Amino acid sequence: MQLILPVLSLLLAPVAVTACEGECIVDITNEYLYRYENILLTTLQKATQISEQLIPAASRRENSIVYFAPVLQAYNLTAYNSLEKAIFPSYFHGKCQDANGVNPPGCPNPDCPKVCGTPGSMVHFYPTLVRIVFDGTTDLLANLTAPGSKPYNQIQQTVMADVNKGQKKRMENLSRIMPLRIRAATQASSTHNIQQGLKKIMKELRPTMLETCGGSNLSFCSWEQPMKEFILQYP
Ligand SMILES: *[C@@H]1O[C@H](CO)[C@@H](O)[C@H](O)[C@H]1NC(C)=O
Ligand SMILES: *[C@@H]1O[C@H](CO)[C@@H](O)[C@H](O)[C@H]1NC(C)=O
Ligand SMILES: *[C@@H]1O[C@H](CO)[C@@H](O)[C@H](O)[C@H]1NC(C)=O
Ligand SMILES: *[C@@H]1O[C@H](CO)[C@@H](O)[C@H](O)[C@H]1NC(C)=O
């Protein structure tokens, strides 16, 4: 990626700069995953409409996060690779060298025209790093909850099963007074409503996570001081 930036003060002398590789990449990725755990859980916890709006009180699980178990499982399996890819080769390159293995003039340093994966450049471009981690996490969450995805289908199944459990009792009572034809129509329209409702709830997850992160400046998902110290422990 080519970035044209004004030349700012250097954070590190070129001799002190090495690429963030191996352990540095793994540890920084894991540190962000660890810090996002609560953000993710809080976001899903806030999606309480999943039970409050869709499921009758009689058959509703107490904690709505239970419905998101398939998302958490899929996230657990995919989040590391997804985030590492978003941060490292996608933006912060391990090395600054061009295709011929030659450093561009004046590189490596934090303001190289090519953004290197040095700890110094990660600190230098810290707001960009914060944005990459947030976007990477919300993109993954959006994919895992997209209608038709495996976790989405599993959630829909559970929600439908709980809704039906609650409705069955109600229908048993109504059956004495309501013709079968009308009962079937009622059930079909509620299936459609649930599917629409579920899609709407999933769509809200990204704005909800943004709100959990403190709004557009991402002030609760920055951890600026501790993360800069964490990153700079690598040479
Ligand atoms: C997935 O779960 C394992 C075991 O509970 C845990 O050690 C690991 O940190 C989790 N990974 C993510 C990305 O949450
Ligand atoms: C989300 O899905 C799109 C389309 O399949 C894909 O291009 C993208 O890489 C995915 N993003 C993440 C973070 O999984
Ligand atoms: C069904 O009717 C019975 C007896 O009339 C009542 O006790 C029960 O609460 C009703 N169930 C529902 C789900 O409305
Ligand atoms: C971030 O934005 C929120 C509301 O949008 C505001 O209250 C807060 O002061 C801002 N924080 C910083 C560090 O700019």
Domain boundaries, the chain: 19-232
Residue 79 has what pLDDT? 98
Residue 63 has what pLDDT? 81
**114 with 16: CB under 8 angstroms?**
no
Q: Checking phi first, is residue 160 left (phi over 0); if not, alpha (psi -120 to 50) or beta?
A: alpha
Q: How many CB atoms lie under 10 A from the CB of residue 206? A: 18
What is the pLDDT confidence band of residue 12, given thresholds at 50, 70 and 90?
A: very low
Residues whose CB falls within 8 Å of the CB of residue 106, separated by 6 or more in sequence, listed in order: 14, 112
Residues whose CB falls within 8 Å of the CB of residue 93, separated by 6 or more in sequence, listed in order: 19, 114, 115, 116, 117
For residue 155, the CA-to-ligand 2 centroid distance in Å is 20
Sign of CA dihedral 181, 185, 186, 191: positive
Asked if the model's pLDDT at residue 3 lies above 60, the reply is no
- Of the listed ligands, the closest to the CA of 38 is 1
Maximum Cα–Cα distance for the chain, whole Å?
A: 85
- The number of the ligand 4 atom at minimal distance from the alpha carbon of 217 is 1
**Helical H segments across the chain, by residue range:** 23-46, 49-52, 69-87, 119-124, 126-144, 150-174, 180-203, 205-212, 224-232
For residue 136, the CA-to-ligand 4 centroid distance in Å is 22
Q: Of all protein residues, whose CA lies closest to atom 6 belonging to ligand 3?
A: 173
218 or 120, greater pLDDT:
218
Question: Distance between CA 17 and CA 36 in Å, rounded?
Answer: 28
8-state DSSP, 103: P
Question: Distance between CA 235 and CA 232 in Å, rounded?
Answer: 7
Least confident of 8-12, 41-45, 155-159, 213-217: 8-12
Please compute the mean of the pLDDT values over residues 173-178 and round it to a whole number.
Answer: 66
Q: Of all protein residues, whose CA lies closest to atom 2 belonging to ligand 2?
A: 143
> pTM (2 decimals)?
0.80
For residue 171, the CA-to-ligand 3 centroid distance in Å is 10
Question: Distance between CA 79 and CA 137 in Å, rounded?
Answer: 8
The residue type at 58: A
- The number of the ligand 1 atom at minimal distance from the alpha carbon of 33 is 13
